[in-house]
Amino acid sequence: MDKYPAPSPMRTPIKVLVADENPGRAKALSDTLRADPSLDVQSVPVGMSLIEAVHQYYPDVVLVDMARADRDALDSVRALSVPALERPIALFVDEDDVDLMETAFDTGVCSYNVLDAPPDDVKPLLRAAIALYARFQRTRAELSAAQQEIEERRIIDQAKKLFMKNEKTNETQAYRWFRGRAMQTSQRIVTVATQYLAAQQKSDTP
């Protein structure tokens, strides 16, 4: 279980963490957001890092407001890539920059918004950021599971081939051996296959 709770896309009010290195602009934005009772708004205190603020506040969404965003300013956003700290991030900028937008998405921003000033109702933008983040997380989890399945099949196939060579058996017999061993030891077949390969490698080492 993660040490820090995951964002809850359907919870009300939405917990918003405002990050802006300009204290005056951060206060103005926070005051605007606080006018909406459905938003629970907190600003990153002066002198506190974004990571520390996320540790302390556990926001549903991080709103980063930059008058002139640049790549250096996105370093703190990139630092939130640790699984326990990851949060949906909405970026507000006042100039359109395609290169910056691509960099922002690479660092973890899921909502890039070109605005001179935040609209009266930012909830759609924040909810969209949360929804996009949740969708990305699901896609990444599915991709990770698929990659793990492919790797496990590769290990099992490699172990079967080596077993067939050593024991002069066919593929069906090899699979039955690994399956039987897995049942006897209450382990997964891939675990048995990994152990078999490790044992064979050790025996082949002078």
Going by C-beta distance under 8 Å and a sequence separation of 6 or more, which residues neighbour residue 7? Answer: 59, 60, 61, 87, 88, 130, 133, 134
Rounded Cα distance between 118 and 39, Å, is 14
- DSSP letters, 163-179, are HHHHHT--HHHHHHHHH
Q: Would the pTM of this model clear 0.75, i.e. be above it?
A: no
Sign of the dihedral through C-alpha 143, 149, 155, 158: negative
Strand order in the sheet with 39-43: 39-43, 14-19, 61-66, 89-93, 111-114
| Domain spanning 143-204, CATH class | mainly alpha
Superfamily of domain 14-121: Response regulator (3.40.50.2300)
Neighbours of 88 (CB within 10 A): 26
Q: Is 80 exposed, middle or buried (0-12, 13-18, 19+ CB in 10 A)?
A: middle
Residue-range domain boundaries for the chain: 14-121, 143-204
Peptide bond into 13 cis (omega under 30): yes
Sign of the dihedral through C-alpha 80, 81, 84, 90: positive
Rounded Cα distance between 50 and 178, Å, is 50
Domains 14-121 and 143-204 equal at CATH topology level = no
**Alpha helices for 35-170 (secondary structure H):** 50-57, 75-78, 98-107, 123-167
- List the chain pLDDT tens, one digit each, 206 residues: 444 455 554 456 888 888 877 777 778 778 888 888 888 888 888 788 888 888 888 888 888 876 555 555 677 777 776 666 678 888 877 777 777 778 777 777 877 777 666 666 777 888 888 888 888 878 888 999 999 999 999 999 999 999 999 999 999 999 999 999 999 999 999 999 999 999 988 876 66
